[in-house]
């Protein structure tokens, strides 16, 4: 048994290293598919649909759309600010949103948030209204809105746009007040008994990375947060008492929320099973909305609860405080790179007791390796005696075969949370560090940080005690720095910076612990030599 345990010690360390690679660098977001609990499934009933809608089919909101997107390309109003440009089409929708800030620009051009792919023309756009009644719905998609002005320039104060659509039976008015930071308020005036649905729009289509969460986030009045990822949407899911309905990709979002009260959210799916978000309404309704980057400070300034659309996955409960700590360090240093370095130092200090315990345990196992081999050779073929003598040896020297592994396992949630924070923080966009790093959110253009990370990992391996009993395991372990370097090449330089600095601190820590253990050992040897022979 203990022969197996001793082997397991080195095998576990290999396994932990592989787990680190898989969890940190082979994207968890791609593997993690959020599922609804039984309680959440119980909420997806028709109780979320107003009575007038229950009496009618909700399917027409997916049907009777224009067969061609050409009539909707006409822009009837443009809203400009120093941060963004919104284009309103003839159907009263925000058909495109451009971000003007240079750190968001692509190829020196303003960044468009929404797809222009003709195959996605039936997907809802922000402020789009669809009616439950198929005849009215067909009229709505065939009748243009009229705008009270064609151009709005927002400086410091909000500006209001009024859109009017006159159908055969009813008239719809949208009063939209735009603010400089991407926040807006919309009041829809519609007669009662005409059930309709309004959408915050499909998610921004900027990030093509398959390893990130892309889909819809719903926050309910009891603070339950449900995520529905692209490809996972059911035919219809209802949330009666929600407070936030957001469509997101890695860095950007379009959303609706209520400053007070709740909204009835409905999630449909398109042909790709991507979630299409809507809010059901009947008569007048007032909503708040936002289109733009998932910048923590901007969202918090609008409404603190909006920071929940910054999605970190299953580790969110721990990742959010880490980001707040990182943000605090940024305020102190004025640079995200130095903030990452300070965060790394703080994490190392907090985890020092666990790290120290693990390193000491591995050193003890290394020191016991010759004696273990003697026992294994002496009691080969006698498993019971072998186990008993190995137990006695471990107990005598206070060694634990798993002692070096458990502290590492306990640190995994911390490292994973930091990975999620740095990978999803849009604040790192355009943030430079030293001379060659101009953007911590993208890969190092000269591969300096990945190479340094690999070299420091290699050096750390040589300083860390190991007790390999299998030559093949040892060879695999030696290749890990190269494997990790390859993983890190395309990762955001901010994340690579964290891991490189973490390796440096680990090396310094290992040197200090090795020196301390060597001193302690030499002291014990000296005391043993001066001990009386008859003692």
Region 37-311: CATH code? 2.70.98.90
Average pLDDT of span 71-96: 93
Domain residue ranges of the chain, discontinuous segments joined by + = 2-26+323-529, 37-311
Task: Report pLDDT for 321.
Answer: 93
What's the whole-number mean pLDDT along residues 227-240?
92
The answer to whether residue 413 scores a pLDDT higher than 50 is yes
**Which two tokens mark 435?**
């001379």
- Has residue 19 got a pLDDT over 70? no
Q: HSE (CB half, 13 Å, CA atoms) of 285?
A: 25
More confident: 275 or 532: 275
How far is the C-alpha of 520 from the C-alpha of 535, rounded, in Å? 21
Q: How far apart are CA 394 and CA 408, in angstroms?
A: 20
Contact 266, 48 (CB under 8 A): yes
The predicted model gives 169-173 an average pLDDT of 95
Q: Is 208 exposed, middle or buried (0-12, 13-18, 19+ CB in 10 A)?
A: exposed
Residue 246 pLDDT grade (very low, low, confident, very high; cuts 50, 70, 90)? very high
Q: Which of 413, 343, 459 is nearest to 19 (CA)?
A: 413
What pLDDT is recorded for position 364?
Answer: 77
φ, ψ of residue 266 to 5 degrees: the values are -130, 130
User: Could you read off the pLDDT of 179-217 as tens digits, one per residue?
Assistant: 999 999 999 999 998 999 999 999 999 987 777 899 999
pTM of the full structure: 0.81
What does the mean pLDDT of the chain come to?
83
pLDDT value at residue 525: 76
- Exposure b/e, 24-48, CB count within 10 A at least 16 = b: bbebbbeeeebebeeeeeebbeeeb
pLDDT at 151: 97
Which residues have CB under 8 Å from 90's CB, separation 6+? 71, 72, 74, 76, 144, 145
Is residue 428 within 8 Å of 494, Cβ to Cβ? yes
- Mapping DSSP to helix (H, G, I), strand (E, B) and coil, where does residue 104 land? coil
Q: Tens of pLDDT along 126-170?
A: 999 999 999 999 999 999 999 999 999 999 999 999 999 999 999
CA distance 451 to 490: 12
Task: Map 337-375 to HEC letters.
Answer: HHHHHHHHHHHHHHCHHHHHHHHHHHHHHHHHHHHHHHH
Q: If pLDDT is split at 50, 70 and 90, which confidence band does 10 have?
A: very low
In 3D, which of 23, 30, 62, 42 has the Cα closest to residue 226? Answer: 42
pLDDT band at 48 (very low <50, low <70, confident <90, very high): very low
Cα–Cα nearest to 366, from 475, 510, 512, 465: 465
Q: Are 186 and 174 in contact (CB under 8 A)?
A: yes
């Amino acid at each position: 048994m203990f022969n197996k345990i001793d082997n397991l010690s080195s095998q576990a360390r290999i396994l932990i290293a592989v787990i680190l690679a898989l969890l940190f660098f082979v994207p968890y977001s791609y593997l993690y598919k959020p599922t609804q609990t039984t309680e959440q499934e119980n909420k997806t009933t028709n109780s979320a649909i107003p009575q007038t809608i229950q009496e009618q089919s909700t399917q027409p909101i997916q049907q009777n759309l224009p067969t061609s997107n050409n009539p909707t390309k006409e822009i009837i109003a443009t809203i400009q600010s120093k941060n963004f440009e919104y284009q309103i089409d003839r159907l009263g929708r925000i058909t495109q949103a451009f971000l003007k800030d240079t750190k968001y620009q692509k190829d020196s051009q303003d960044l468009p948030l929404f797809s222009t792919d003709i195959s996605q023309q039936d997907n809802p756009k922000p402020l789009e209204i669809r009616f439950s009644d198929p005849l009215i719905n067909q009229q709505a998609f065939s009748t243009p809105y009229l705008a009270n002005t064609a151009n709005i320039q927002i400086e410091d104060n909000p500006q209001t746009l009024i859109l009017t659509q006159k159908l055969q039976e009813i008239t719809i008015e949208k009063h939209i007040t735009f603010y400089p930071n991407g926040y807006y308020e919309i009041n829809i005036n519609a007669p009662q008994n005409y059930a309709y649905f309004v959408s915050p729009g499909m998610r921004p289509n900027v990030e093509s990375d398959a390893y990130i969460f892309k889909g819809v986030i719903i926050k309910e009045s009891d603070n339950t947060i449900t995520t529905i990822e692209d490809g996972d949407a059911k035919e219809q899911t209802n949330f009666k008492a929600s407070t936030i309905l957001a469509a997101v990709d890695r860095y950007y979002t379009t959303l609706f929320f209520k400053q007070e009260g709740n909204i009835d959210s409905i999630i449909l799916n398109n042909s790709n099973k991507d979630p299409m978000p809507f809010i059901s309404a009947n008569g007048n309704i007032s909503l708040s909305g936002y289109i733009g980057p998932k910048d923590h400070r901007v969202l918090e300034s609008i409404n603190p609860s909006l920071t929940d659309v910054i999605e970190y996955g299953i580790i969110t409960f721990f990742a959010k405080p880490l980001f707040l700590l990182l943000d605090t360090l940024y305020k102190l240093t004025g640079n995200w790179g130095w903030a990452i370095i300070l965060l790394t130092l703080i994490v190392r200090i907090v985890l020092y007791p666990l790290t120290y315990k693990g390193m000491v345990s591995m050193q003890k196992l290394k020191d016991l390796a010759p004696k273990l081999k003697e026992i294994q050779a002496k009691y080969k073929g006698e498993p019971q005696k072998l186990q008993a003598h190995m137990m006695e040896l471990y107990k005598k020297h206070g060694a634990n075969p798993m002692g070096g592994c458990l502290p590492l396992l306990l640190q995994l949630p911390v490292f994973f949370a930091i990975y999620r924070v740095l990978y999803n923080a849009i604040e790192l966009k355009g943030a430079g560090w030293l001379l060659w790093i101009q953007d911590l959110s993208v890969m190092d253009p000269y591969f300096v940080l990945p190479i340094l990370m690999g070299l420091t990992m290699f050096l750390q391996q040589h300083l860390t005690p190991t007790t390999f009993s299998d030559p093949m395991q040892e060879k695999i372990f030696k290749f890990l720095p190269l494997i990790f370097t390859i993983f890190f090449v395309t990762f955001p330089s901010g994340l690579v910076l964290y891991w490189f600095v973490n390796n440096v601190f680990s090396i310094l820590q290992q040197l200090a612990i090795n020196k301390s253990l060597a001193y302690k050992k030499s002291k014990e040897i000296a005391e043993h030599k001066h001990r009386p022979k008859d003692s």
